[in-house]
């Protein structure tokens, strides 16, 4: 599997990747983006199986990037990872095409729960 982790915080990206490494038993590839524009470019290049998308980022925010990716690929799997758990933000992310939502900080428990919910855990 290929994963794309999008967050302007290096620490947040590392926490997500570390949690993935501790949960996923098979080998996988991870690509990292620091903003939404990079995310769209990396998505188009690598076609990851699952994206973890922050919402608040420079250049292009997570809402815009999610919309752009989903407009280009209706089968894109994007899980929003954000501290903004307000209902309107969750709805806006889902309307853009997100399939799930994880509240920051990412940890093994909330990541595993999401992967199981999406039936992506082997």
Specify if 122 maps to a domain: no
Write out the residue range of the structural domain in which residue 84 sits: 2-117
pLDDT tens digit sequence for 88-102: 888 999 999 999 999
Is residue 119 very low, low, confident or very high in pLDDT (cuts 50, 70, 90)?
Answer: confident
Q: Total structural domains in the chain? A: 1
pLDDT of residue 23: 92
pTM, whole model, 2 decimals? 0.94
Specify if 54 maps to a domain: yes
* Cα–Cα distance measured from residue 17 to residue 5, given in angstroms and rounded to the nearest whole number: 8
Specify if 14 maps to a domain: yes
The CATH number given to whatever domain includes residue 32 is 3.40.50.2300
Q: How many angstroms separate the first and last alpha carbons of the chain?
A: 11
Q: 46 vs 2, 32, 56, 60, 88, CA distance in Å?
A: 8, 11, 23, 19, 31
């Amino acid at each position: 599997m290929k994963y794309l982790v999008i967050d302007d915080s290096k620490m947040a990206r590392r926490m997500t990747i570390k949690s993935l490494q501790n949960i996923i038993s098979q080998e996988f590839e991870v690509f990292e983006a620091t903003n939404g524009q990079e995310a769209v470019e990396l998505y188009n290049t690598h076609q990851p199986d699952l994206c973890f998308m922050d919402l608040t980022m420079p250049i292009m925010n997570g809402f815009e990037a999610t919309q752009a990716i989903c407009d280009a690929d209706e089968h894109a799997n994007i899980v929003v990872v954000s501290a903004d758990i307000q209902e309107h933000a969750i709805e806006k992310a889902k309307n853009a095409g997100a399939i799930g939502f994880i509240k920051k900080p990412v940890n093994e428990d909330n990541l595993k729960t999401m992967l199981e919910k999406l039936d992506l855990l082997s």
